[in-house]
Amino acid sequence: MGYIHVSMDIDRLEQFTAESPDPDAPAIRIAEMRGATKRYGDVLAADNLNLTIFKGEFLSFLGPSGCGKTTALRMLAGFEEPTSGDILLDGEVVNSVPAHRRPVNMVFQHYALFPHLNVADNISYGLRQQRPKPPKDQIDDAVRQTLETVRMPGFGPRRIWEMSGGQQQRVALARALINQPKLLLLDEPMAALDRKLRRDMQIELQSLQRKLGITFVLVTHDQEEALSMSDRIAIMRGGRIVQIGSPRDLYDRPNSRYVADFVGKSNFIDGVVAEIDGPKIALKTPDGQKLQGMAVGQLAKGDAATISLRPEQCSLARKQPSNTQAGMRLPVKIINRIFLGEHTEYLVKTENFGDFLVLVPRQAETAEGRFEPGDDAWLYWQTSSALVLQAD
């Protein structure tokens, strides 16, 4: 592979947030997007993307269909040149370096395996493009090892169409991994797999990433996938990155209603900021009630805002809870109950704020008694668990 000449710039930077394999290692910037923008005619597919990717991390782009995830990935891979802004690899601007001269490999959504080559030849394809060509026995060894890494030993002579979707996916992964790319890009690699297989592959992919220490950039619109696998997630919307952070950050401190809605489930109450008291905010709802919550980000009096409340932070009671027990309480009617094993999910109807989801853990449920659809109950929560976010 024609490697671009690079000078490592090893900055001591703030650690990227989540549990990295070696928390004390300095964070190395492997790739950067600086104001990367891509237009297709009138369509702004990627809008001013700013992002640093650190060595060894597992980063995901998460967002709904058409939000520009693939475009972002294709700019990193070298299939698209940014209309404006820069893409950096190892500190060098690579905007116009074509894909075949970037030390970056991609696992395509539909695998894009070469149908005229067998598994071994597919996997060795990248090595065989290097000049000078590595010796044959070296290539064979690498193929054998990589097949073992993806747990498919002995599959070398197989034809592509003689394999299941899951096996093809492993081959696609092996074909990229064998080149030991600086950056492994994965565009919805699990989209074509069934649920069970997808779960298995997610776990496997994650442990593989930890083991090999290769930097992974995954594109997905499946929030569960992103949450369970990534060190950091970039949430995208309409071509922009709206928030970057660890799964926990995004879940606990979403910076907008959009993120709170996209990462996990949440209940929302819209209103206008009425009082600000340090981090505490009182939100005035359209029907005149005042609800308390904790501010996330900058909010000023009079701003339109939303209270976001995670279902597991809500509780249900038969009798009206006392003031000390609850920060906020509302009378509700139980609409539906879904048994989820560990938890039971209730759908309840409030008088003024629409339907709420409430997640009750098993122990709490036995203590409180079970609610049946149609029952009247009290919904309550702690003020500290209600986040006040910018409305969209």
Ligand X SMILES: Nc1ncnc2c1ncn2[C@@H]1O[C@H](COP(=O)(O)OP(=O)(O)OP(=O)(O)O)[C@@H](O)[C@H]1O
The residues that touch ligand X, with contacts defined as CB under 6 A, are 40, 43, 45, 63, 65-71, 221
- Return the range that interacts with Mg ion (CB under 5 A); candidates 66-74, 96-104, 146-154, 289-297: 66-74
CB closer to other proteins out of 82 and 247? 82
The amino acid present at 8, given as its one-letter code, is M
**Min separation Cβ 223 and ligand X, Å:** 13
Q: How far is CA 98 from the centre of its chain?
A: 27
Tell me which of 116, 195, 196, 319 binds other proteins, using CB under 8 A. Answer: 116
The listed partner (ligand X, Mg ion, other proteins, none) that binds 161, CB under 5 to 8 Å by sort, is other proteins
Provide the b/e sequence for 116-147 (b: ≥16 CB within 10 Å).
eebbbbbbbebbeeeeeeeeeeebeebbeebb
**Min separation Cβ 86 and ligand X, Å:** 19
Q: In the window 340-379, what residues touch other proteins (CB under 8 A)?
A: none
Q: In the window 18-37, what residues touch Mg ion (CB under 5 A)?
A: none
CB closer to Mg ion out of 110 and 199? 110
CB closer to ligand X out of 27 and 227? 227
Sheet holding 183-187, edge to edge: 104-107, 183-187, 215-220, 58-62, 232-237, 240-245
**Min separation Cβ 210 and other proteins, Å:** 24
CA 11, 13, 17, 23 torsion-angle sign: positive
Q: 3-class DSSP state for residue 149?
A: helix
Q: 3-class DSSP state for residue 308?
A: strand
- Residues 6+ away with beta carbon under 8 Å from 267: 308, 309, 310, 311, 314, 353, 356, 357
The listed partner (ligand X, other proteins, Mg ion, none) that binds 332, CB under 5 to 8 Å by sort, is none
The listed partner (Mg ion, ligand X, other proteins, none) that binds 339, CB under 5 to 8 Å by sort, is none
* CA pair distance 96, 36, nearest whole angstrom: 13
CB closer to other proteins out of 114 and 339? 114
Q: How do 387-390 and 290-295 pair as beta strands?
A: parallel
CB closer to other proteins out of 1 and 276? 1
* CA pair distance 217, 61, nearest whole angstrom: 8
Closest to 212 measured CA to CA, from 169, 148, 164: 148
* CA pair distance 252, 257, nearest whole angstrom: 12
Q: Are 380 and 329 in contact (CB under 8 A)?
A: yes
Tell me which of 70, 215, 220, 315 binds Mg ion, using CB under 5 A. Answer: 70
* CA pair distance 102, 77, nearest whole angstrom: 7
Q: In the window 248-267, what residues touch other proteins (CB under 8 A)?
A: none
CB closer to other proteins out of 133 and 370? 133
**Min separation Cβ 191 and ligand X, Å:** 9
Instruction: Name the closest residue to Mg ion (Cβ).
Output: 70
**Min separation Cβ 377 and ligand X, Å:** 39
* Interface with other proteins: number of residues (CB under 8 A): 28
The number of C-alpha atoms within 13 Å of 175 and in the hemisphere containing its C-beta is: 26
- Please tell me whether residue 2 binds other proteins under the rule CB under 8 A: yes
**Min separation Cβ 146 and other proteins, Å:** 13
- Please tell me whether residue 98 binds other proteins under the rule CB under 8 A: yes
Query: For 213, left (φ over 0), alpha (ψ -120 to 50), or beta?
Result: left
Q: 3-class DSSP state for residue 103?
A: coil
CA distances from 37 to 50, 247, 376 (A): 10, 25, 53
Q: In the window 35-94, what residues touch other proteins (CB under 8 A)?
A: 77-79
Q: In the window 121-150, what residues touch other proteins (CB under 8 A)?
A: 125-126, 129-130
Q: In the window 174-213, what residues touch other proteins (CB under 8 A)?
A: 175-176, 179
Binding site for Mg ion (CB under 5 A): 70
Contact positions toward other proteins, by CB under 8 A?
1-2, 77-79, 98-101, 104-106, 108, 110, 112-116, 125-126, 129-130, 159, 161, 175-176, 179
